[in-house]
Structure 1
Amino acid sequence: MIEVDRGSLPFTLIHGEALVACASWALDEAGVTQVDLATEWSVVADTDEPFVLHDSLCPMTPPAFLVDCVARADEDGCVVVGVRPVTDTVKQVAGGVVGDTVDRATLWSVASPIVLPGPVVQAMERHSVADFAALVEALRSDYRVEFVEAPVSAARVSSEDDVRLLEALTSR
Structure 2
Amino acid sequence: MADIVTLLAAAGAEAHHADPSVLGMDTYQWVALAMTVLLGVFLWKKVPGIITGGLDNKIAEIRKALDEAKTLRAEAEALRAEYAAKIASAEKDAEAMLSGAREEADAILAKAEADSEVMVARRQKMAEDKIAAAERAAVAEVKARAVTAAAAASKVLIAKAHDGKADKKLADDVIASL
Greater share of strand: 1
Q: TM-score when scaled to structure 2?
A: 0.12
Q: TM-score when scaled to structure 1?
A: 0.13
Greater share of helix: 2
Greater relative contact order (Cα < 8 A, sep 6+)? 1
